[in-house]
Amino acid sequence: MNAQTTEQVAGGKLERRSKHAGSSGKRAPRPAPKAPSNRQQASVAVPAAAAADEAWPYALDVWQRGVLFMEVLRQRANNMLEHERAGLPPLLDFKYELILDARQFDEPANYALLRITEVGGDCREDCIDPEKPPVIVVDPRAGHGPGIGGFKRDSEVGMALHEGHPVYFVIFYPEPEPGQTLADVHHALRKFVTEVAGRHPGKPPVLYGNCQAGWAVTLLSADCVGLTGPVVLNGSPLSYWAGESGVNPMRVAGSLTGGTWLAHFMSDLGDGRFDGAWLAQNFESLQPEKAIWEKYAGLFNKVDTERERFLEFERWWNGFYMLSREEIVAIVENLFIGNKLERGNFRICDGCTADLRRIRNPLVIFASYGDNITPPHQALGWIPVVYKDSDDLRQAGQQIVYLTNPHVGHLGLFVSAKVARFEHRAILESLDDIEALEPGLYEMKIDNPSGDPDCHKPHYNVRFEERKVEDLRFPKESEAFERVRAVSEANEWFYKNFVSPWVQAAANPWSAEVMKWTHPMRVSRYLFSEAFNPGMRGVAILAEAVAANRKPLPRDHPLIGRERKLLAEVSECFKTARTVRDCVYEQTFGLLYGNSGDAIAGK
């Protein structure tokens, strides 16, 4: 009898059974599986072979990039040690001559005034316009050495020379003069500006202040009315309590360590000197995803093209300079903790207090919303404190112009070649228009339809839109920071009178030098030099052989794309951890001193 097949659902499962007349109901034997055909075997083998063909060249490429990556770190370490042996000279990409050395002044300071004399093979006299005012670029003294405003052709110095301005550059030396104070630096800068003004009669110098140099030239403008022309402040903090909770954690960092005493303590351990490597470490800790991961991951991923750019910047970044104990204590106490500049309580020297209302020369403020070190809040927040409204600003006869960048980071404001060729060129080409403005507050807008950063007027258009001082209202927690100031003063008084004498008695030049060379920022660099790590000599030999036979994979290789995705995911993990850390900082600040916790919670 023919077999019949039926299907039934039993217990939620589909069962298939065969029935035969008179059978016992046993399941029919299952047919043996068929072996895959030759065509099916080939279809499986092709993807596996393709994957193997992709994986082996990628593995070789990763190994080669790893060798070249280690070689770049070795070269960075050697560059750092070579720069130290040479005395940490300024890293300017222009020839210059020394005009004044403030170490020889009656009130000595470790500053000097240079005049740029040659650009490449062109003499200074061949490229300047005698009718244009001189430009003085002052670099920040915030842990690193001078030169960042002119360490490549597309820089502030390069753009000023390109526009025909005589250019001068203020440098500083690695070691401060014994007992050097902020007043000594201030008086040196005043003599520099007076010297330049005397060389160019009738043309007050244009001052460029980068980061920390910004508040220095602002003090100069307030103290020496009529001496300077327009002052350009790039990423310069003047309002130290301003900022956004959870976004700008640097403003609360000092409060969590008790204020000024810690800087005083580190200076005592340094035998009267404060190591700039501590400031550089603080900068890197602000965004560890960039300083600890992205910088090195990007170098590894593009080691064939990023080597020179990486080494050029790191040569400046790893040249750490010293500040005197008197300087760093005064900076932290009066600015970062006390916020005395915008309030008119900053005492430059005996009988001389800075008052920002006395400034009469135009101010150009350049800030970026991508800058978490000096956000627009700190660059502009002092204006509504000094001037109660727009009428007050106009009656004071002051012109303030500001422009913002939406995304560039802090260093990009005075390091980026694109920013130098576009925003800084536009500022220099608009100086006459700025000085012709009526007193008031203006936002500088640059319309550039072509998108070309190298274009000149009239290919781009600059307009100045009037703004109201009343609209510049940034978040502040003044009551909380007043408590920080009070706590800092109490801690500093106790440390200065009861602890500092003992620390100073124990410290000596030998112990200070040991502490300098065991600093993590230095150790993490120089350990990749064969002078400290003999194994790196083998890396150098191997890297030479790899470079001779290097054939990098194309950037569109599938596994290179996956690598970039993985690196980006790790970066996001760092970013998430940093965001949590910053929130903890803000919450702790709020619990200790007041209302910042409410700001985090959106109250």
Chain position carrying tokens 């500001």: 402
Q: Give the number of other CB atoms < 10 A from CB of residue 574.
A: 17
Given a contact cutoff of 8 angstroms between Cβ atoms, the answer to whether 248 and 369 are in contact is no
pLDDT the model gives residue 36:
56
Chain position carrying tokens 């913002």: 404
273-275/231-234 β-pairing: unpaired
Q: What are the φ/ψ torsions at residue 270 (nearest 5 degrees)? A: -85, 15
pLDDT digits (tens, 9 = 90+) for 213-258: 999 999 999 888 778 899 999 999 999 988 777 667 788 888 999 9
pLDDT the model gives residue 603:
38
pLDDT the model gives residue 49:
53
Q: Is 442 helix (H, G, I), strand (E, B) or coil?
A: strand
Architecture of the 88-241+339-473 domain? 3-Layer(aba) Sandwich (3.40)
Given a contact cutoff of 8 angstroms between Cβ atoms, the answer to whether 284 and 292 are in contact is yes
pLDDT the model gives residue 193:
96
Please name the residues in contact with 535: beta carbons below 8 A apart, sequence gap of 6 or more.
none
Q: Give the number of other CB atoms < 10 A from CB of residue 109.
A: 26
Please name the residues in contact with 381: beta carbons below 8 A apart, sequence gap of 6 or more.
238, 239, 241, 242, 342, 472, 474, 476
Q: What are the φ/ψ torsions at residue 123 (nearest 5 degrees)? A: -75, 150
Low-confidence ranges of the chain (pLDDT < 50): 1-26, 40, 42-46, 596-603
461-467/440-447 β-pairing: antiparallel
Residue 125 tokens, joined? 């006299």
pLDDT the model gives residue 31:
57
d(CA 177, CA 321): 13
Given a contact cutoff of 8 angstroms between Cβ atoms, the answer to whether 91 and 316 are in contact is yes
pLDDT the model gives residue 459:
72
Please name the residues in contact with 450: beta carbons below 8 A apart, sequence gap of 6 or more.
459, 460
Given a contact cutoff of 8 angstroms between Cβ atoms, the answer to whether 600 and 590 are in contact is yes
111-119/95-101 β-pairing: antiparallel
d(CA 302, CA 295): 11
Q: Find the helix or strand (DSSP H, E) in which 539 lies.
A: helix 535-548
Type of residue at 137 = V
Q: Give the number of other CB atoms < 10 A from CB of residue 449.
A: 9
pLDDT the model gives residue 313:
92
pLDDT the model gives residue 348:
83
pTM summary value: 0.87
DSSP conformational letter for 471: G
Say how many Å lie between the first and final Cα of the chain, rounded: 86
Q: Give the number of other CB atoms < 10 A from CB of residue 150.
A: 28
DSSP string, 197-223: HHHSTT-PPEEEEETHHHHHHHHHHHH
Instruction: Residue 387: name the closest of 374, 401, 403, 398 by CA.
Output: 398
What's the burial of 475, exposed, middle or buried (CB within 10 Å: 0-12/13-18/19+)?
middle
Q: What are the φ/ψ torsions at residue 276 (nearest 5 degrees)? A: -65, -15
Q: What are the φ/ψ torsions at residue 518 (nearest 5 degrees)? A: -105, 10
